[in-house]
């Protein structure tokens, strides 16, 4: 259970725009044109600009890929710098008449070459596409060390809801469950028959649609996390499952009724992170709750799972002292891990980064008692977080220019922030460790790092016909240190 005194209640928060604008002015956040970073160097790295655009990529530094409408995209990257774009394509609409349902759709992976063009040798003319149950959605994509590409798919049969009193019925008139699966593809972009059952491995089978996350251990075993919540009853929980590297079930690990050496976290499961030690970190909050004051938010319930089983060796709540909005986990060079989050006080929202030891306890030597705070623009959202071999940490986010951003016509600024290993600002991003780039009509989506140390910033824009277009800009990243 969360700490005492966290009475959930619905409250109205005051506008934070004016207060945050003043905070930004006080913090001295660097404003730069698109693609430019601060010329001030970080510790021992004077003059290196990680945001300098690599004009050899795509067209003058930017690759583009039409996504169409409706669109979705999640990104992965191979060590050689080839970008994997996983998206979902609707093949046929929901049969009419209906009051909703699931159309016929399939997951698709498009691979971009190291120069930013479509890799036509991959799959079918650059695309790998397949079917699991018929109404399948791409969740994430990640390569294994042997070159196999893993794609997480939420699969369901196409179904129709004819009235709001009915469940979604398949063509046979039956109700079906969600199949949370992992597909394995060869480096050439076809289903790998040596993975799972002819390329498809079953992870979870669940009656309701829950969030699903996947990460790879050092031994290349995929670990999956989903919630097991009943929000209407304010009951929260998480489930962890592991596959062998070849997609077969890891039977010993998947025994759910194991003796716990620490109390289970009674919270959702939204983030999973394997550590080099073999243990697994999971984290989640209490969804759908709003607290009377920002300090009443209990934050995240962080669990450490033993490597051989999913038993918890540690489980406890960590509060950021503010309302938690969104967060991401990354391993840290010291063997522990770090969490980046957008958190909000009564008047402003900030970027909060916390460092933890491998056992799940906070590292108080980092920042202020374990947390470093960074001022960010109004309407900021966290998109990506990654750590560096020297312990430095980098975040990529979006700041909406419009009060209610949505689709064509909306404008955004990409926001980069960097911290050194001790929580001090990385001055390559400006005096306060933040670079806010020029306003654009593309919404920042995610940032990736390749094997050469370059960074790839992805965003989505809209063409004249109202279709989504993916844009990826490549910058020097840490390769700027060794020009």
How does pLDDT run across 245-256, given as a tens digit for each residue?
Answer: 999 999 989 987
pLDDT of residue 35: 46
Query: Which pair of tokens denotes residue 23?
Result: 């905070």
How does pLDDT run across 274-304, given as a tens digit for each residue?
Answer: 999 999 999 999 877 788 899 999 999 999 9
Q: Please check whether residue 221 is in contact with residue 201, taking contact to mean a CB–CB distance below 8 angstroms.
A: no
Examine the pLDDT at 116 and tell me if it is beyond 90.
yes
How does pLDDT run across 18-36, given as a tens digit for each residue?
Answer: 333 333 333 344 444 444 4
pLDDT of residue 471: 97
Examine the pLDDT at 45 and tell me if it is beyond 60.
no
Model confidence at 406, pLDDT cuts 50, 70, 90, reads low
> Rounded to two decimals, what is the model's pTM?
0.88
Q: Please check whether residue 220 is in contact with residue 242, taking contact to mean a CB–CB distance below 8 angstroms.
A: no
From 107-116, 139-148, 151-160, 256-265, the region with the lowest mean pLDDT: 256-265
Q: Please check whether residue 214 is in contact with residue 269, taking contact to mean a CB–CB distance below 8 angstroms.
A: no
Q: At 241, is the secondary structure helix, strand, or coil?
A: strand
How does pLDDT run across 323-370, given as a tens digit for each residue?
Answer: 999 999 999 999 999 999 999 999 999 999 999 999 999 999 999 999
Q: At 146, is the secondary structure helix, strand, or coil?
A: coil
Q: What is the DSSP string of 347-393?
A: S-EEEEEEEE-TTS-B-TTTTBTTEEEEE--TTEEEEEEEE-TTS-E
Q: Comparing C-alpha atoms, which of 447, 448, 449, 445 is closest to residue 469? A: 445
* Percent residues over pLDDT 70 in the chain: 88
């Amino acid at each position: 259970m969360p700490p005492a005194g966290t009475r959930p209640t619905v409250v109205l928060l005051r506008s934070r725009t004016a207060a945050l604008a003043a905070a930004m002015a006080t913090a001295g956040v660097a404003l730069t044109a698109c693609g430019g970073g601060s010329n001030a160097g970080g510790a021992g790295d004077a003059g290196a600009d990680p945001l300098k655009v690599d004009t050899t990529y795509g067209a003058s530094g930017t690759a583009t890929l039409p996504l169409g409408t409706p669109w979705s995209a999640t990104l992965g990257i191979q060590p050689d710098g080839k970008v994997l774009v996983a998206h979902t394509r609707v093949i046929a609409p929901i049969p009419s008449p209906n009051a909703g349902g699931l159309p016929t759709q399939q997951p698709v992976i498009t691979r971009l070459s190291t120069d930013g063009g479509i890799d036509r040798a991959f799959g079918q003319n650059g695309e790998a596409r397949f079917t699991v149950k018929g109404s399948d959605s791409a969740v994430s994509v990640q390569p294994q060390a042997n070159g196999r590409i893993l794609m997480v798919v939420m699969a369901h049969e196409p179904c129709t809801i004819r009235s709001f009193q009915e469940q979604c019925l398949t063509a046979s008139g039956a109700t079906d469950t969600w199949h949370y699966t992992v597909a394995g593809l060869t480096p050439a972009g076809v289903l790998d028959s040596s993975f799972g059952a002819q390329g498809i491995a079953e992870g979870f089978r669940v009656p309701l649609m829950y969030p699903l996350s996947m990460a790879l251990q050092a031994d290349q075993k995929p670990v999956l996390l989903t919630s097991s919540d009943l929000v209407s009853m304010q009951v929260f929980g998480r489930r962890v499952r592991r596959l062998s590297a070849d997609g077969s079930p890891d039977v010993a690990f998947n025994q759910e009724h194991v003796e716990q050496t620490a109390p289970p976290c009674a919270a959702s499961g939204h983030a999973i992170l394997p550590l080099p030690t073999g243990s697994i970190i999971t984290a989640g909050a209490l969804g759908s709750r709003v607290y009377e004051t920002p300090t009443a938010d209990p934050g995240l319930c962080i669990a450490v799972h033993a490597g051989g089983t999913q038993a918890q060796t540690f489980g406890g709540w960590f509060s950021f002292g503010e309302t938690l909005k969104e967060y991401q986990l990354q391993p840290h060079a010291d063997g522990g891990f770090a969490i980046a989050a957008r958190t909000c006080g009564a008047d402003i929202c900030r970027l909060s980064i916390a460092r933890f030891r491998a056992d799940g306890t906070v590292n108080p030597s980092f920042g202020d008692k374990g947390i470093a705070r960074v001022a960010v623009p109004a309407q900021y959202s966290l998109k990506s977080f990654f750590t560096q071999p020297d312990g430095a940490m980098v975040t990529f986010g979006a700041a909406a220019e419009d009060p209610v951003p949505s689709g064509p016509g909306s404008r955004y600024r990409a926001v980069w922030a960097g911290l050194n290993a001790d929580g001090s600002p990385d001055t390559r991003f400006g005096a306060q460790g933040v670079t806010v780039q020029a306003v654009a009509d593309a919404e920042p989506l995610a940032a990736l790092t390749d094997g050469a140390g370059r960074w790839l910033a992805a965003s989505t824009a809209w063409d004249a016909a109202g279709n989504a277009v993916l844009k990826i800009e490549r910058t020097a990243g840490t390769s700027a240190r060794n020009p």
